[in-house]
Amino acid sequence: MKKLGVGIIGTGWVSGEYIRAFKLNPHTEVVAIASRDKMKAVAKAQEYQLESCQYFTDLEKMMKLSEVDIVCICTPNFMHAEQTIMAANYGKHIVIEKPIAINWSDMKKMKKAVDKARVTTIVGFVLRWNPLFITIKKLQKDNVLGRIFYAEVDYLHRIDENYLCYPWSRKKETGGSILQVGGCHAVDGLRWFIQQDAVEVVALSGRYRSDFEQDTTITFITRFKDGAMGKVCTSYDVNCPYIYNLELYGENGTLRNNQLWSKNSFPGQEDWIAIPTTTPDSGDVTHHPFPGEVNHFVDCILNHEKTIVDLDDALKTFEIIEADDRSAQQGGKPISLPFELLSI
């Protein structure tokens, strides 16, 4: 069977992770790299030993290649919308690195283009393939935790000049809000484990450093359709290693990161059980399971199925984020969901 050709857009760190993952998949081959700087594209191809790879500074020329079946968008946040719409218009299956886009209007346009093209999409919430996340889903399937009635997920990570994304992520126009840039991983984790649609949010935010144009710490409470509640805190102000905190409180048990308590499942339990697994928090995210994400995406293309985090699913995460940002801008005003976008 002919391999699916992959066109990579962007030459930063995350593009390398996707190239590595697509190389490992037996059904795909990276055939093109697009970059504003051709020499960076050439260097990236050489780094990953892509022998028959074409290079483009004109993105539309790459889109026109019949050999390209999949487009993988690994560019700065403010470029995602235009590139996704172009890829959909050319009938390409699309990997969209998070965030989807940095404003609600663009997300609406992206959904319209993808729906019209009927292409397969996946958004880069790679933590869904993290070993701890997979373990928790198995615990939920076995009813070890029971119905989750409250959850806390925190994304605490100081972004500074040591990060390549720093120059554009600290500006509103190119980076978006901190929930869109990094905190979206926490919001997606909240949704992934509660498995309900949000109906209301209340948020407060503040800025405790002068190098960012947007607020750099935000905390919000979300109420879900079944009455469950969730809290998320995202901060770029912290002075500590990256923290991804995950706490799930269920009717049958409790999980605090990799610590489990469930007397229903473990009668006589007297202390927390430590789950021997890899947790999400690593500042360089080199352990993040991109191959798992890519393999799922490719399987869905071949079997004509939707991915577990396609554009429609990811929009529900960014709907909560949009509501949180609006609430914070209005001093904690409650915002009701859903918005009009998801009913198009």
Predicted local distance difference test score (pLDDT) of residue 286? 58
Task: Based on the fold, state whether residues 136 and 122 are members of the same structural domain.
Answer: no
* Domain enclosing residue 48, as ranges: 4-126+291-309
Q: What percent of the chain has pLDDT over 90?
A: 88
Position 344 pLDDT exceeds 50: no
pLDDT band at 231 (very low <50, low <70, confident <90, very high): very high
Q: pLDDT tens digits, residue range 316-331? A: 999 999 999 999 999 9
Average pLDDT, the chain: 94
Task: Based on the fold, state whether residues 122 and 133 are members of the same structural domain.
Answer: no
Task: Based on the fold, state whether residues 27 and 90 are members of the same structural domain.
Answer: yes
Q: pLDDT tens digits, residue range 151-207? A: 999 999 998 888 888 888 899 888 889 999 899 999 999 999 999 999 999 999 999
Task: Based on the fold, state whether residues 71 and 202 are members of the same structural domain.
Answer: no
Q: Is residue 343 part of a domain?
A: no
Longest dimension (CA), the chain: 65
The sheet with strand 70-73 has its strands ordered as 54-56, 28-34, 4-9, 70-73, 93-96, 121-123
**How many domains would you assign to the chain?**
2
Task: Based on the fold, state whether residues 158 and 210 are members of the same structural domain.
Answer: yes
Cα–Cα nearest to 152, from 254, 260, 300, 63: 254
Predicted local distance difference test score (pLDDT) of residue 162? 85
Task: Based on the fold, state whether residues 216 and 298 are members of the same structural domain.
Answer: no
Bin 313: left if φ > 0, else alpha if -120 < ψ < 50, else beta. Answer: alpha
Q: How, if at all, do strands 254-256 and 259-261 pair?
A: antiparallel
Give the DSSP letter string of 222-251: EEETTS-EEEEEEES---SS-EEEEEEEES
pLDDT band at 343 (very low <50, low <70, confident <90, very high): very low
pLDDT band at 277 (very low <50, low <70, confident <90, very high): confident
d(CA 273, CA 281): 20
Q: Is residue 17 part of a domain?
A: yes
Q: pLDDT tens digits, residue range 283-318? A: 455 567 999 999 999 999 999 999 999 999 999 999
Task: Based on the fold, state whether residues 228 and 295 are members of the same structural domain.
Answer: no
Q: Is residue 223 part of a domain?
A: yes
